[in-house]
Amino acid sequence: MYRIAICSSDEPCLDKLNKLITLYQTCRKQILIVKNYRTSAQLLNSLNFNFDIFLLDNNISYKETNKLTQLILTENPKAYIITLISPNDNFFSIYQNNILGYLAKPLTSASFFVEFDRALKYIPKYQDYLLVKNNFNIYRIYINDIFYIETSNRKVVVHTIDNSLSFYEKMQVLEYKLNKYFFFRCHNCYIINLEFLEKIISLDAYLVTGIRIPISKNRRKSLIEKISTYENLN
């Protein structure tokens, strides 16, 4: 899973980028979480630079884009920044020779795929993980890959992008380990990764995969509060 921020005041361009990202997800079998910002001020005021990829439209001016780029890299040195530019732009050659990525307008799926393939190779894909023991084997489970965790037959089952792994562990232990991430124990038997939450209907949480997870009545308010707090930070 990768988090992407788009900053563009050009609505047609914004729409095109979101469609290309959706297409890329399908073709490359990646999970991309997107946040749209329509001005650089909106991105700056959010005080959130915790994205893997930033797509910055140069329509906000070269000086402003350059300032924003430097600030992002100061706050998040591992970020990959892609600048959107016009071939007629006076600064085209500067971006072309820059170590950061660029996409020339008009956008095409071919150029987008090439640049995003490059970006995903550049980004340290995973940072944090869990080490779990199953019988005599030890497995590394990457935090970003976890959809949800459930209890079953005195074991916990961790469901990830690629597969599911069961092992003996207490849910309280996993809840504690995942507390600093965007996870929530919505039910005595379930912990969900809220990055993959699509919607909440009554006492059911639906993930982007279509999976339905029950929510305990006494945990629903805390779940909504955690989501609201996260959205305010973003």
The residue from 58, 88, 122 where one domain ends is 122
Same domain, 117 and 185: no
Same domain, 152 and 88: no
Same domain, 85 and 162: no
Whether the per-residue pLDDT at 9 is higher than 50: the answer is: yes
| Nearest Cα residue to 228 out of 188, 208, 200, 206 | 200
CATH of the domain at 114: 3.40.50.2300
Same domain, 74 and 134: no
pLDDT at residue number 90:
58
Same domain, 137 and 117: no
Q: Quick one: tokens of 106?
A: 């008009």
Same domain, 46 and 141: no
Structural domain tally of the chain? 2
pLDDT digits (tens, 9 = 90+) for 92-130: 555 544 447 888 888 999 999 999 999 988 876 546 788
Ranked by mean pLDDT, which of 48-57, 71-80, 157-166, 213-222 comes out on top? 213-222
pLDDT at residue number 97:
44
Same domain, 10 and 43: yes
Residue 128 and residue 196: Cα distance in Å, rounded? 17
The SS3 call for residue 18 is helix
Give the pLDDT band (50/70/90) at residue 19. Answer: very high
pLDDT digits (tens, 9 = 90+) for 27-59: 988 888 898 998 888 888 776 777 889 998 876
pLDDT at residue number 98:
47
Whether the per-residue pLDDT at 188 is higher than 60: the answer is: yes
pLDDT at residue number 232:
55
Q: Which of 62-71, 88-97, 189-198 has the lowest mean pLDDT?
A: 88-97
Q: What is the mean pLDDT of residues 127-153?
A: 86
pLDDT at residue number 223:
94
Same domain, 153 and 223: yes
CATH of the domain at 147: 2.40.50.1020
Same domain, 70 and 45: yes
Determine contact, residues 148/175, Cβ cutoff 8 Å: no
Same domain, 87 and 11: yes
pLDDT at residue number 105:
87
pLDDT at residue number 17:
95
Angle at 184 between CA 182 and CA 190, to 5 degrees: 135
The residue from 88, 122, 156 where one domain ends is 122
Same domain, 7 and 116: yes
Same domain, 108 and 134: no
Query: Structural domain of residue 102, as residue ranges?
Result: 2-122
* 91: DSSP letter: T
